[in-house]
Chains A and B, each alone.
Chain A
Amino acid sequence: MSAIYVLIGFSLAAALGFLGAFIWSIKNGQYDDDYTPSVRILFDDTQSNNSNSNPK
């Protein structure tokens, strides 16, 4: 049963890792604007006049 100590250690470490990633992403400004990127990703990089997609 002592394996449980190790497993809990691992699971907590993994969870802390994700928490750290989340905090880092906030710091990075990823949550400052949660609308514009959803539109931006639909723009074509190159000039093409056949894009009639309406992102809204």
Chain B
Amino acid sequence: MSDNRESAANETPRCYHCGDVCDTEIIHAHDKTFCCEGCKMVFELLDDNDLCTYYDLEKNPGIKMRGSLGDKFAYLDNEEIESSLLDFNDGDLKKIKFYIPQIHCSSCIWLLENMYRMRDGIVQSQVNFIKKEAYVTYRSDQVSLRELVELMTSIGYEPAISLQSGTKEAKKKVDRALYYKLGIAGFAFGNIMLLSFPEYLDVQDFLEDQYKRLFGYLNLVLSLPVFFYSASDYFVSAFKGLRAKYVNIDVPVSIGIIALYSRSSYEILSETGPGFMDSFAMFVFLLLVGKWYQNRTYQALSFDRDYKSYFPIAVTKLIDGVEHNVALNSIDVNDIILVRNGEIIPADSTLLSNEAQIDYSFVTGESDAVSKRASDKIFAGGRQVGASIKLRVDKAVSQSYLTRLWNQDTFQREKTTMNRLIDRVSQNFTFMVMILAMGAMAFWWYQSGMSESIHVFTSVLIIACPCALALTVPFTFGNSLRIFGKLGFYLKNTDTIERMAQVDTLVFDKTGTLTQSVADEVDFHGTTLNPTELQLIKSLVKQSAHPVSTALYRYISGAVVGVDSFKEVTSKGVVGEVQGHQLTIGSSKLLSKEVVSTGEKLASVAHIEIDGEYKGYFSLHKAYRNGLEDVLKQLGNKYELYLLSGDNEAEFENLRPYFSSDSHLQFNQTPEAKLNFIQSLQEKGNKVLMIGDGLNDAGALKQADVGISIADDVFQFSPACDAILRADKFDCLPKLLLYSGKAMRIVRSSFAISISYNSIGMLFALNGMVTPLFAAILMPISSVSVVSFVTIATNLSARSLGFNRNKLEKNQPIV
């Protein structure tokens, strides 16, 4: 069925605004085609303001419009909330920073920066593409914050306003500190090298002693800020590591730095030699370049959002029947609140209205709404579908179900990093180097006395300084992160690659992971419907927000007509009159006559009755992801596969063939059960990778060694996980796992290369033959060759797996 739809899609035109295929309806206006009213409206708005350059910069840059605004942003009129969001407030002139996840191309930058043309009062707007932020300066006497946000939303750039952005103070400018350090190290490195140059020539008496002394002291002064400022991060990190009783890579790095610096200072001050200040400054500079490269790849990924980001920032509170917008924090127990269609319920509460349809997809991942009656308890995190409801708050926001779930230990725990390859290597490496240095010192003491022995001791430490080793990891993993990112797979940190390579067990969630969260496969059984009848059905289901109705609406193509009457019967279906025809769509209980059982156990069924005549039924299957069969077969060869689902066992038979035994498929799992299941697998010694979506998987995702969340669009909610995989890239999963293994192999080979450099240098050091020139040549050669090796190797292995690096798709952030 889906194949038919796809082939049909190729013939239908694409929307001029958002580039989507116009499959449900086509609107022709201004010689262009649009897929929905929303897209057309945005185009007209831009056209009116002479902003159509937007469409020249990129092809179909727009963002599909979803839903209407309503009073959604009414809370921004509340002064308390407004002031908590503002960065700068000078009476009328205000500045604010918005996080806009929809920013994806250069057209976005252009439009957002030209907003001042659309509305008086917007003074300036500036976009930071990498961080997906917009800084807007506006005059509040001409445009209110609410109007500003509504304007941005109306052109498709809805800012993500959250409690978090309201409460958190501007994040510390860590990035800038790295630039300062880099700049100072670079400055010192260049000048020290220049002043050390005469020493390289090794011409005796070329320089008079007074100049040697001058250059030495200048070097010493120049290197002071490098040692105490630029290199300070490494000392801190090494110290922290040692205090936690483990040796990280920064320990040998720090030992090397300290040995270099103190030996050089001693030589300069005692006037016994020129020192190695050039190598020292170069070493720190190269390390910082590596760090800078690594940071760059992280910038685009914002994983630090917690559950608060997804909570509303304000709620409508009823005081004596009058609506007030108040900040979420100020809600108390027993307050009466009003929750409108599509709003999230912020706290555990009791329903006061007669009826509510709560969509818990945010919590459980299941898309069917749950109906509640008056005085039922409603947990936080649900989303009301339909009319507004009144609720009495039972628990403060901070004590709600969601918050508690999130505060469980698993959510807080950081994944252990003790067993990282780089740390194991650096541990052994440090140990070896210390033994060698001590041994050499003892030998030379015995041979030729103390001063020579200290000379050799420090030479060994200097030569062993693992510069190349320390650069390997940021460059290999940083580059892999970029390659993954271009494929729609975003990792939280580089450790994830290593853990991915070790995984032997894969656990899948069903709804939204193996099945697509939105698209259903629709089939019709019964007398063939003629186009008019289809049009009637489409018109009627348009009135309903129920998932089955939306799926039918999407499935039937063509235009809609007006509806004369419409009634939704809760959890049964819809009845109505369209153009004089009586229509009933829904469960068999609604029909006037008895029908034979459909025998459909797996699917939702919608029966159709027109003017009292039974026509047949639509069956809706949850559609499996594209390429699911291939993915599971490929992965099944290498890994143990498990399935955990919160749903009932309806699809057991469909999925059973892909898993090795019945016990590998677990249904009716609560979030806690999922978490425990993963834990029990881990206790058996398995390394578990969990793929899921929805907040209910969050515990399991966090508990698993690697938690990957599937996102239908990258802007979507993503629970605490190690990585986000774009849903349409699901079929890449086996390749991604394979690539993580390759990345680890590259890291190992580059370790071998850099250690062989160190061994060669060590031969010279042990014989007391290390000169400043030797050190100044060996260090950059080893670093540069290792860095180019890993860069070339990662790109080659990506290409061998068929990842085309140059193909950038729409909506992919540029990393």
Contact = CB atoms under 8 A, between A and B. Distances in A.
Interface of A: 1, 4-5, 8, 11-12, 15-16, 18-19, 22-23, 26-27, 31-36, 39-40, 42-44, 47-49, 51-56
Given A40-B109, A54-B57, A23 B180 contact: yes
Contacts of A18: 187
Nearest to A30: B179
A31 B179 contact: yes
B191 interface: yes
Given A32-B176, A44-B53, A52-B56, A8 B218 contact: yes
Contact of A39 (B109, B183, B808): B109
Contacts of B760: none
A2 to B, nearest CB: 10
A32 B175 contact: yes
A55 B808 CA distance: 13
B113 interface: yes
Which of B131, B175, B183, B184 has most chain A Cβ within 10 Å? B183
**Chain B interface, DSSP helix/strand/loop, else mixed:** helix
B66 to A, nearest CB: 26
Given A8-B218, A15-B187, A33 B56 contact: no
Nearest to B105: A56
Contacts of A32: 128, 175-176
Interface string B62-77: 0000000000000000
The 6 closest A-B pairs by CB, nearest first: A36-B129, A33-B128, A19-B187, A39-B106, A22-B183, A26-B179
Interface string B126-153: 0111110000000000000000000000
Contacts of A51: 53, 56-57
B58 interface: yes
B128 A26 contact: no
Nearest to B129: A36
B175 A47 contact: no
Given A49-B53, A56-B808, A36 B130 contact: yes
Interface residues of B, number: 33
Nearest to B815: A35
A11 to B, nearest CB: 8
Contacts of B180: 23, 26
Given A47-B53, A56-B808, A36 B109 contact: yes
A1 B208 contact: yes
Contacts of A47: 50, 53
Contacts of A11: 191, 194
Nearest to A50: B56
Contacts of B191: 11-12, 15
A51 B109 CA distance: 16
23 contacts: A1-B208, A8-B218, A12-B191, A19-B183, A31-B179, A35-B129, A35-B814, A36-B109, A36-B127, A36-B129, A39-B106, A43-B53, A43-B57, A48-B53, A49-B52, A49-B53, A51-B57, A53-B57, A54-B58, A55-B57, A55-B106, A56-B808, A56-B814
A40 B218 contact: no
Contacts of A5: 214
A49 B218 CA distance: 59
Nearest to B52: A49
Interface string B173-188: 0011001100110010
